[in-house]
Chain A
Amino acid sequence: MMDERDLEIDDLINDLDKEYYSAHPTANSSYLTTHKSRDLKSLVRLWISERTCPDILPYAHDLLDTMLDRVREQVEVIEVNTTSGDAGGGAKLKLLFVETEVERVKFLVRGYLRARILKIDKYYMHILNNLDMQTRLSQSELRYAKRRGNQLKRYYDLRFLSSLPPSLQRLDDTAGGLQMVEMPDLNEVVFIRVLHDVPGEVDLGNDDKIELRTGNIYVLPYKVIRRHIDNGDVQLV
């Protein structure tokens, strides 16, 4: 048996994965071990970006699907090994590590989704009126925004809106120069790190231009680098 003090958590988890995948030859273990830590890093980055972004970022379908599949697999690993009964001290410890990792991934995904829901709740009217915003949400998020919007409309209608003169019944007025619909402030200044050189220069308005070089950190208005955040050239920090 290995000396537990010298064990690295990742080694342990990989070890356990190997055991699992040798028992389930259809699963591709070499792919997983090389991509796992990269995906976890992407998830952490995604979670941070979503929390610092004034706008709603495009929903990360692929990464979320991958991470959720992995959570399910790991839960299976835990269950298979707990029920198999041969849980000696070492195996037990390994299981605890897998479980700890599962909890961490679950927390990150939860934090990511909750950060999005917070913004969806705030900007729902803008989302429902704007197709570009809708493409940034997942099906499930869009359905949530619509259903909540309907409930909210019903509540407002019942309480006061339907009793007002028809000209005042709208929830998305712009009359009188006042914008009723709350929308993300795209002028908000954000911190970004450049992950890949951006070809050409970014126009900052007022004849100001800036070149985005890999590894550099800039403070810029969100709207001028929105496109580069969406395609992954720069990252919010």
Chain B
Amino acid sequence: MHFSNHISFTTMYGDLAAKLIQDSKRTQSLDVLPAYQADLVNSIIREIRDLQRDVKILLDQQGPNFRASQDRRVSCAIFVLQICMRRNKRCLLAYHKLRARRLETLVWSGFETTSIGSEGDSGVALSDRPSVASGWHPDEEEYFRGYGDVLAELKGEWTDIDLTGSMEPPRDLFIDVRVLKDAGEIQTEYGLITLTKNSQFYVRQGDVERLIQQGYIQKLH
């Protein structure tokens, strides 16, 4: 078979993509977004290009008058190569989509870098907020910031509602909270409250929602 030397079966096409999917599966069960698999992604891109080159070589060998129906061996080979390429692309997409969704979830949960300044009204020192995690690709940091802007604009159109607020149905206006770490002072309609570590307060839920999300204070039941 004159085209067999282009298809090597020592490492199977698709093995790398399978590894990427395994990593995606692992990612789904982790709380933290694991490091970006840059090498693996690049290898898969290279594999797709190799496959594409093989298709081109095969077609070139057939000459300009090649009809798929004439030589079923050749058209079958091309078909298999095409399927491998598409499968690799699907795996790349699945992996990156999963990571993008995880980044978006982080933005929603208040793990945001873009809001510094605009959310400063709670008077919290922002320095000890969680910072952007290590292991992200720079393009991912860019997406994280980009999506943060998109969401910030949407939130800005719904200031009366607080889109990122709690999804628990409200039961009580006032709740008991314990302060987990010093969070400075907050202004409430009943005056100024100083949130020092380990102190407990009975406060309006709406006043401290943000601080609960950020882990400064804890709701008591």
Contact = CB atoms under 8 A, between A and B. Distances in A.
Interface of A: 68, 71-72, 75, 82, 96, 99-100, 103-104, 106-107, 109-111, 113-114, 117, 121, 140, 143-144, 147-148, 151-152, 154-156, 158-160, 163-165, 168, 171, 175-176, 178, 180
Contacts of A152: 100, 143
B96 A110 contact: no
Contacts of A154: 142-143, 146
B83 A176 contact: yes
B86 A168 contact: yes
Nearest to B83: A176
Given A103-B206, A164-B48, A155 B167 contact: no
Main secondary structure of the interface of B (DSSP, over half): helix
A113 B158 contact: yes
B139 A155 contact: yes
Interface of B: 41, 44-45, 48-49, 52, 82-83, 85-86, 89-90, 92-93, 96, 100-101, 104, 137, 139-140, 142-143, 146-147, 150, 153-154, 157-158, 160-163, 165-167, 169-170, 173, 189, 205-206
B173 A103 contact: yes
Contact of A148 (B83, B139, B140, B150): B150
A117 B104 CA distance: 12
Nearest to B85: A168
Contact of B173 (A71, A75, A99, A147): A99
Nearest to A152: B100
B157 to A, nearest CB: 5
Contacts of B158: 113, 140
Contacts of A158: 139, 142
A106 B161 contact: yes
Contacts of A117: 154
B16 to A, nearest CB: 13
Nearest to A72: B160
B147 A144 contact: no
A148 B147 CA distance: 6
B153 A147 contact: yes
A36 B52 CA distance: 64
Contacts of B92: 159-160
Contacts of B96: 155-156, 159-160
Given A147-B150, A160-B45, A160-B96, A104 B86 contact: no
Contacts of B146: 151, 154-155
Contact of B41 (A103, A113, A159): A159
B112 to A, nearest CB: 14
Given A148-B150, A159-B96, A165 B52 contact: yes
Contacts of B52: 165, 168
Nearest to B55: A165
Contacts of A163: 45, 49
A151 B153 CA distance: 14
B136 to A, nearest CB: 12
A111 B163 CA distance: 9
A155 B163 contact: no
Contact of A110 (B104, B139, B154, B162): B162
A109 B85 CA distance: 45
B48 A165 contact: yes
Given A155-B139, A176-B82, A178-B86, 12 more contacts: A110-B162, A111-B167, A151-B146, A152-B100, A154-B146, A155-B96, A155-B143, A155-B146, A165-B52, A168-B86, A168-B89, A175-B86
Nearest to B165: A110
